[in-house]
């Protein structure tokens, strides 16, 4: 009898192993048959374990259990509601954000609750329009995918992000690692050019204009982003550990395989704000594309000089992406991750204030990044003056990341941030692309719902009056006072306000929300 029981158990284990390896829905089970089931078991009883033994729903970092659960359920189109009221302590939480709804909010347009609605929210400004770029366009989504390089992420992960961006009608930033074959699955790109000039460098690692133009012509590039720094490792160049530098990545980047790929800390194509503007205008003139910059914020002298030159000379960047010091990366020194660069809210508000004081804030598209992939944080970013936001780690979670924090080792268990072939096999780009699109659509839906509750049809029209910051002494302050904003600074210009109202509700030129999808017959991102 025992022999038969053991035989049945062995057969059952083999059957489960075969099933786990063959299925494609769960990367954990594919990569770790049998053992992976224990993760889901522990996850299912996680609330009980945390309630009595471990941590609360809001204690974990960088993303809490509540935040991860919201991303996961949204990406799978499951119930993302939470029951029994908030478990946050509103009266003892300093810097706690409150969104001030109107007693009589704005009614949603017809069809708002359609089951297959993609909830498009086009950008309130035309990217490159202020400078008259030949290939200026209005981005079809205010929520886009942040820069994550092939190399830092696996090929299947990058492909899933690109396919998902196409489904959601949003843009994908390439990260500074160049444009790979995995970026070419239908999603529109923002090509990020860092100090290593990957994809447009010569044999000595310097910028090569001819290669730059060849690459632009070969891919669906809608804009160029010159990366000055990022929030997770400001002041340092990029770092891709040698374990991740496969021959394929080496060929794309133009570097030796198997060796650490280090980007310099600064650009060789320019040395100061004046040279930066010359470089930007050169790229725009050669391609007709909008050209912007991405940076974390430390000292403000650079931004003061940049604004002064833009106002005085007519040369200008088309967009500015501000990354907060809370931003993430695959690998970075702990001290830079924890202590260098201002958090997003402080850094962005300082740069925006400088641009507003020079009268430039209506002529630049502002993009925010750094843990903004949640409705309330995204809405606050719009209130501070953002025209779009980028999501990075939240997008990674949507395609399967479980916050294992093994990105720097090359042993990501879900196949997202690794070049290990066995681990990558568990990530199905087709399935995960749908999950990214679901997450983007859900975030846009909740942004619209928040906007309607506050009486505006588009998140860019939210004013600073809609927010207060609570302290732990039963007091609060309006955010205009907290961040030193003048009235209406964070709002787009009057022309943009009228235009975006037409776009959201329809005027015969653009499909009204709920009747015809994404920005009329041309689809997302039409010019």
Q: Specify the pLDDT at position 404.
A: 82
Give the C-alpha separation, 447 to 123, whole Å: 13
Tell me the percentage of the chain whose pLDDT exceeds 70.
89
Give the C-alpha separation, 490 to 456, whole Å: 14
- Give the residue, 128 or 325, on which the prediction is more confident: 128
Domain ranges of the chain: 143-522
- Mean pLDDT lowest for which of 16-25, 56-65, 356-365, 467-476? 56-65
pLDDT band at residue 356 under the 50/70/90 scheme? very high
pLDDT band at residue 505 under the 50/70/90 scheme? low
pLDDT band at residue 208 under the 50/70/90 scheme? very high
- Give the residue, 522 or 186, on which the prediction is more confident: 186
- Give the residue, 451 or 43, on which the prediction is more confident: 451
Once rounded to an integer, what is the mean pLDDT over residues 280-290?
A: 98
- Give the residue, 527 or 137, on which the prediction is more confident: 137
Return the CATH architecture of domain 143-522: Alpha-Beta Barrel (3.20)
Residue 235 has pLDDT above 70, yes or no: no
- Give the predicted TM-score (pTM) of the model: 0.86
Contact 267, 302 (CB under 8 A): no
Greatest CA separation for the chain: 90
Q: Specify the pLDDT at position 519.
A: 30
Contact 255, 246 (CB under 8 A): no
Give the C-alpha separation, 22 to 1, whole Å: 32
Number of Cβ within a 10 Å radius of residue 353: 20
Q: Specify the pLDDT at position 236.
A: 62
Q: Specify the pLDDT at position 517.
A: 30
Give the C-alpha separation, 444 to 337, whole Å: 29
Range from 215-229, 249-263, 398-412 that averages highest in pLDDT: 215-229
Q: Specify the pLDDT at position 508.
A: 35
CA atoms within 13 A on the CB side of 275: 8
Look over the chain and give the mean of its residue pLDDT values, rounded to a whole number.
86
Q: Specify the pLDDT at position 295.
A: 94
Contacts 24+ apart (CB under 8 A), 87-96: 87/56, 87/57, 87/58, 88/58, 90/470, 91/470, 91/472, 91/474, 92/472, 93/470, 93/472, 94/470, 94/471, 94/472, 95/469, 95/470, 95/471, 96/469, 96/470
Instruction: Determine whether 466 is exposed, middle or buried from the number of CB atoms within 10 Å of its CB (0-12, 13-18, 19+).
Output: buried
Number of Cβ within a 10 Å radius of residue 247: 10
For the chain, how big is the Rg over CA atoms in Å?
Answer: 23
């Amino acid at each position: 009898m025992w022999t038969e029981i053991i035989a049945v158990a062995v057969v059952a284990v083999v059957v489960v192993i075969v099933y786990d390896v063959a299925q494609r829905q769960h990367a954990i089970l594919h990569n770790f048959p049998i053992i992976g089931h224990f993760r889901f078991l522990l996850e299912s009883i996680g609330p009980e374990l945390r309630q009595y033994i471990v941590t609360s729903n809001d204690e974990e970092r960088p993303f809490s259990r509540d935040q991860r659960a919201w991303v996961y359920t949204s990406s799978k189109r499951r119930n993302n509601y939470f029951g029994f009221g908030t478990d946050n302590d509103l009266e003892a939480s300093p810097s706690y954000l409150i969104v001030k709804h109107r007693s009589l909010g704005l009614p949603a347009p017809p069809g708002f609750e359609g089951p297959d609605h993609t909830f498009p929210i086009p950008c309130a400004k035309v990217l490159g329009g202020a400078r008259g770029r030949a290939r200026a366009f209005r981005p079809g989504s205010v929520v886009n995918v942040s820069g994550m390089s092939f190399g830092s992420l696996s090929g299947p992960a990058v492909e899933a992000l690109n396919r998902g961006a196409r489904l959601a009608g949003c843009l994908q930033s390439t990260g500074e690692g160049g444009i790979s074959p995995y970026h070419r699955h239908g999603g529109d790109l923002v090509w990020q050019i860092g100090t290593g000039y990957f994809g447009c460098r010569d044999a000595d690692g310097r910028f090569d204009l001819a290669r730059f133009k060849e690459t632009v012509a070969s891919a669906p590039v809608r804009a160029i982003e010159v990366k000055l720094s990022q929030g997770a490792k400001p002041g340092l160049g990029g770092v891709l550990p040698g374990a991740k530098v496969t021959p394929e990545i080496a060929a794309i980047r133009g570097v030796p395989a198997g060796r650490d790929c280090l980007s310099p800390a600064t650009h060789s194509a320019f040395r100061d704000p004046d040279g930066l503007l010359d470089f930007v205008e050169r790229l725009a003139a050669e391609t007709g594309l909008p050209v912007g910059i991405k940076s974390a914020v430390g000292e403000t002298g650079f931004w003061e000089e940049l604004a002064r030159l833009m106002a005085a000379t007519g040369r200008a960047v088309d967009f500015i992406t501000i990354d907060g010091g809370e931003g993430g990366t695959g690998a970075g020194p702990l001290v830079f991750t924890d202590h260098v660069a201002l958090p997003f809210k402080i850094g962005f508000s300082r740069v925006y204030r400088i641009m507003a004081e020079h009268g430039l804030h209506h002529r630049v598209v502002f993009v925010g990044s750094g843990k903004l992939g949640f409705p309330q944080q995204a809405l606050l970013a719009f209130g501070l003056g953002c025209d779009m936001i980028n999501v990075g780690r939240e997008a990674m979670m949507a395609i399967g990341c479980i916050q294992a924090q093994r990105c720097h080792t090359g042993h990501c268990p879900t196949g997202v941030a690794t070049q290990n072939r066995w681990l990558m096999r568990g990530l199905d780009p087709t399935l995960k692309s749908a999950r990214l699109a679901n997450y983007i659509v859900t975030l846009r839906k909740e942004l619209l719902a928040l906007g309607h509750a506050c009486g505006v049809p588009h998140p860019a029209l939210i004013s600073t009056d809609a927010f207060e910051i609570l302290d732990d002494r039963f007091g609060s302050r309006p955010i205009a006072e907290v961040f030193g904003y003048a009235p209406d600074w964070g709002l787009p210009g009057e022309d943009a306000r009228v235009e975006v109202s037409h776009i959201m509700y329809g005027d015969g030129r653009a499909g009204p929300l709920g009747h015809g999808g994404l920005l009329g017959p041309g689809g997302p991102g039409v010019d």
